[in-house]
Chain A
Amino acid sequence: MLRKIKKALESTREISDWKVIETIKEGHELYFIRQELDMNRAKNVSSYNVTVYRDFEEAGKKFRGSAQTTIHPGMSEGEVKKRIEESTFAAGFVKNRPYPIAEPSEAKGSISSGLQKGEISDWIVEIASEVFSQDTKKGAYLNSTEIYLTKVHTHILNSRGVDVQFDAVRAFIELIVTATGEEEVELYHQLRFSDYRPGSISKKVTEFLEEALNRAQAKPTPALGTAPVLLVSEPAEDFLSYYVDNASARAVYEKISTFKIGESVQGDFVGDGITITLDPFMPESYYSAPYDGDGFALNREQIIVNGKLLKYWGDVRYSHYLGVEPTGNIHNFSVEPGKNTLETLREGPHLEVALFSAFNVDSVTGDFGGEIRLGWYCDGKERYPITGGSISGNINKVQKELLLSKETQKSKRYTGPKAVKLLNVSVSGINK
């Protein structure tokens, strides 16, 4: 199929540049209700994502248009040619400022996974066994579990000579954990990873079961008005991702972000300064890759140091628009831990939230908030689990005094502080 596509691209006169991403996926999926296998699925699919670039001039002004299309396996030579010609024609109306595409470059690192060795239909059952190995707790159990394991082969080519390939294994587990208290409660969890470290899944499952038991004992969130709030686990990662989103060349070019190189991204802060590094090779990360979607070789990039923006990150196009060196699109980030231990951050009355129904962080406005599924309230003396109600706030208003924990965590695309402490966050609770 690649040969057919390249032939069609090279024979279409109006095309100035092109890019093709071939993706081949081989996957197995297991679906459990309690510990009983409810369904098994397998897949074997491939796709070809083609972008054509067309340079043109109108009234003395130069433009580069582009159009992306999907070529399906099994399409005839004629069908491929027709689709590419239609896209090329359409690209002639897309009036964008000119920009280059990626040039060939050597990989700066690699990704590897033990899951590459052997059959994924064997690995997936190994993983399932580990998931259920800890499902023995009294009062809490795995209600339903879905496990997906997919081998992904990616091949990126372009008209400038980029021709790179890499393999990855993407593992995804969805777990619904139920616990019994006054009534049954449940919590939703996801795990994403690209390498398998025996013992790591069972450790997580144990934590999840414990959290469900906590929710089963939880009291309604008190109506606090405003309170110091500790975001722990995934909400801490989601909160800090605001700074990554706003450091992107695309967000700046599109005027969504106002971040400026050399300036503070936290205003005049008195709390912890944030230091962020993007790491395309983060071990076990679901999103690790040696190249971005343009075939641009990725490297580790420090973008924010002690609250000050060092550089924008972005693909070739938007970096060119801003006149900065491209870093490529990198999806993993690590944040330097803070100076205070979790124990210190937990001093005094506060609300700690580990799980929301969905924690929303709006990277345009800085608004954040969500309904609390599991947290803990400490009145300065007693600490007890809470559920219900919500928190809300705006990052621009709370970042001045934010504190990061010394303890760290690792997730699908993040390593960094396990907790972020914020002051004066609005808390909508249920009773006084």
Chain B
Amino acid sequence: MKVQDSAFLLKVKPLLKRLISELSKDYDYVSVLGTDVSGKSYSVLTTGISLSDSNWTERGFVVRVFNESIYSEYSFNELSEENFKQVLNNIREETEKSLRNSKAKGFHTGKYPCVMEEKIVKHFNGDVVTPLEFSRPSEIIEKLTSIKDKAYEYTDLLVNFMAAYEGVTVSKLFISPNKDLMQSYMWSQGYTYAIVRKESNTRYGYKSYSGLKGTELIDEMSKDIKEVVDKAVMLLDAVPIEPGMYDVICSPEVAGLIAHEAFGHGVEMDMFVKNRAKAVEYLNKPVASKLVEMHDGARAAEEVSSYLFDDEGTLGTDTTIIKEGILLTGISDLLSALKLGTKPTGNGKRESFERKAYTRMTNTFFSPGNDSLEEMIASIEHGYLLEDYYSGMEDPKNWGIQCMIAYGREIRNGKFTGKIVSPVVMTGYVPDLLQSISMISGELRLSGSGACGKGHKEWVKVSSGGPYIKAKARLG
């Protein structure tokens, strides 16, 4: 079923066009992004139910103008015939104030060229099986409750269980003198989360789900309840890992985290502009084993960050970042590309209309290889299969990596021993880790639950993934 455009954006579009036309008299470049993102978030726990609008809900506008030599922006969320003149004045005055004051204090400004755009008119409506508005709240709550109740059939150790679903409809409009773009699509994410306790030992297991899907995602969630409960129970017997270097097999989720933290953040080209990216020194040089190919792009995969255009009106692409171990290029927002003299890749994303656009990842993943998981396990003398993760952190300047992994299954002489280590902190120097990749499996799995920050803020939806990969890593 086609996802419908926002009636609000369609209604306000003539006013936005007028705004562009008026502002174009004062500025050499003007654009406006209008957003109408709506959604619902449902959580059913043993101890209660919650229902709220999605945290991704937003409705508003951001105007960008070329202000002599830099770009200035103004975010607002009320526009009507009645306040049109006031908004116009606010844009002119508020974008001037801090710029004028900064210059008066002696600050110099950056030097950007003016955006040159070709004429593009495009419209995209995504498809889902069941849009959120076609599912009754009672039906969603009943399904999540049934998942929660089922979990209690598998163990007496559960102290709480959560089944959560979030469905979000994204509608965005981008207008500039040469561009008229509109897109509407829906994504969903879900979690099942089991907390178990034995005496004072508390552990949890989880599984996440995501995709360009509607409420049909909840049916997927109902298939793995036992797996989530078993995982939590298994972790009750986990032991700390002996720190050291190990042969590891990373699950597609952990491989995705590595792709995201290791090279995704490292090739965000706004970091090139700030001289914060070590990757600049390695363009067209080997950074990984010859087996490694890595992509990012809104058009590279069908997941939560697949779209027609980014938040600066650049069409989404598929960027091959690494091919046969060679670092080919980075990913870029519009302004960084202007500064660097490169082509934007459709990676300019905002947390919301209230925030600045930065270079951000979309769907980032390692391409599949030719090995099988069984062969990979059999090849390990002593090491771990690493599964699930809690978080990761980038270090674009120095290529450090931090991955907080949920657990590892010990492998000795090509077989699982049954020993579980948890939690596991995987650290290291990114090229060492990527150069050590020696086997890659044939499957490709992406996951887009949660959110990605830049530094410790600016949360956006991304997906990441890959096949199983075998590498050497420092675990602690």
Q: Is the pair B354, A43 in contact by a Cβ cutoff of 8 Å?
A: yes
Q: Is B391 positioned at the interface, with any CB of A under 8 Å from its CB?
A: yes
Q: Is the pair A93, B476 in contact by a Cβ cutoff of 8 Å?
A: no
Q: Is the pair B274, A392 in contact by a Cβ cutoff of 8 Å?
A: no
Interface positions, chain A 149-190, Cβ under 8 Å from B, are 174, 176, 178, 183-186, 188, 190
Over the window 232-270 of chain A, the binary record of Cβ atoms lying under 8 Å from chain B Cβ atoms (1 yes, 0 no) is 000000000000000000000111101000000000000
Q: Is B138 positioned at the interface, with any CB of A under 8 Å from its CB?
A: yes
Known: A128-B102, A389-B427. A33 touches B274 (CB 8 A): yes
Over the window 376-403 of chain A, the binary record of Cβ atoms lying under 8 Å from chain B Cβ atoms (1 yes, 0 no) is 0000000000011111111010000000
Q: How far is the CA of A200 from the CA of B273 in the complex (A)?
A: 30
Residues of B with C-beta under 8 A to A115: none
CB distance from B29 to the nearest CB of A (A): 14
Over the window 69-103 of chain A, the binary record of Cβ atoms lying under 8 Å from chain B Cβ atoms (1 yes, 0 no) is 11011100000000000000111011111000000
Residues of A with C-beta under 8 A to B177: none
Residues of B with C-beta under 8 A to A31: 356
Stretch at the interface among B16-24, B93-101, B123-131, B288-296: B93-101
Stretch at the interface among A105-113, A119-127, A279-287: A119-127
Q: Is the pair A66, B456 in contact by a Cβ cutoff of 8 Å?
A: no
Known: A40-B99, A125-B102. A360 touches B391 (CB 8 A): yes
Known: A41-B74, A119-B97, A144-B276. A30 touches B102 (CB 8 A): yes
Q: Is the pair A428, B51 in contact by a Cβ cutoff of 8 Å?
A: no
CB distance from B186 to the nearest CB of A (A): 18
Q: Is A36 positioned at the interface, with any CB of B under 8 Å from its CB?
A: yes
Stretch at the interface among B52-60, B113-121, B221-229: B52-60
Q: Is the pair A121, B101 in contact by a Cβ cutoff of 8 Å?
A: yes
Interface positions, chain B 144-200, Cβ under 8 Å from A, are 159-160, 195, 197, 200
Chain A, Cβ-Cβ closest to B455: A188
Chain A, Cβ-Cβ closest to B82: A74
Chain A, Cβ-Cβ closest to B394: A357
Q: Is B107 positioned at the interface, with any CB of A under 8 Å from its CB?
A: yes
Residues of B with C-beta under 8 A to A28: 94, 97-98
Q: How far is the CA of A165 from the CA of B282 in the complex (A)?
A: 54
Q: Is A365 positioned at the interface, with any CB of B under 8 Å from its CB?
A: yes
Q: Is B90 positioned at the interface, with any CB of A under 8 Å from its CB?
A: yes
Q: Is the pair A426, B243 in contact by a Cβ cutoff of 8 Å?
A: yes
Chain B, Cβ-Cβ closest to A32: B107
Chain B, Cβ-Cβ closest to A29: B356
Residues of B with C-beta under 8 A to A308: none
Q: How far is the CA of A115 from the CA of B254 in the complex (A)?
A: 45
Q: Is A371 positioned at the interface, with any CB of B under 8 Å from its CB?
A: yes
Q: Is the pair B141, A94 in contact by a Cβ cutoff of 8 Å?
A: yes
Q: Is the pair A39, B356 in contact by a Cβ cutoff of 8 Å?
A: yes
Residues of B with C-beta under 8 A to A41: 72-75, 95, 356
Q: How far is the CA of A41 from the CA of B76 in the complex (A)?
A: 11
Q: How far is the CA of A39 from the CA of B69 in the complex (A)?
A: 10
Q: Is the pair A125, B105 in contact by a Cβ cutoff of 8 Å?
A: yes
Residues of B with C-beta under 8 A to A369: 404, 423, 425, 476
Q: Is B240 positioned at the interface, with any CB of A under 8 Å from its CB?
A: yes
Q: How far is the CA of A159 from the CA of B107 in the complex (A)?
A: 50
Q: Is B213 positioned at the interface, with any CB of A under 8 Å from its CB?
A: no
CB distance from A81 to the nearest CB of B (A): 16
Most buried by B among A31, A42, A388, A429: A42
Q: Is A367 positioned at the interface, with any CB of B under 8 Å from its CB?
A: yes
Q: How far is the CA of A185 from the CA of B48 in the complex (A)?
A: 48
Q: How far is the CA of A19 from the CA of B393 in the complex (A)?
A: 38
Q: How far is the CA of A225 from the CA of B137 in the complex (A)?
A: 52
Residues of B with C-beta under 8 A to A367: 422-423
Q: How far is the CA of A124 from the CA of B76 in the complex (A)?
A: 20
Q: Is the pair A358, B94 in contact by a Cβ cutoff of 8 Å?
A: no
Q: Is B413 positioned at the interface, with any CB of A under 8 Å from its CB?
A: no
Q: Is the pair A44, B94 in contact by a Cβ cutoff of 8 Å?
A: yes
Over the window 80-112 of chain B, the binary record of Cβ atoms lying under 8 Å from chain A Cβ atoms (1 yes, 0 no) is 100000000010001101110110110111100
Q: Is the pair B73, A39 in contact by a Cβ cutoff of 8 Å?
A: yes
Q: Contacts A42-B95, A254-B48, A371-B402 known; list 13 others, CB within 8 Å.
A: A39-B70, A41-B72, A41-B73, A68-B52, A94-B51, A97-B48, A223-B243, A254-B47, A358-B402, A360-B390, A371-B427, A390-B243, A391-B476
> 20 A-B residue contacts at CB 8 Å?
A30-B102, A35-B108, A40-B95, A42-B74, A43-B75, A43-B76, A43-B354, A74-B78, A90-B137, A121-B97, A125-B105, A143-B276, A186-B398, A254-B160, A255-B46, A255-B195, A358-B393, A373-B395, A390-B402, A391-B425
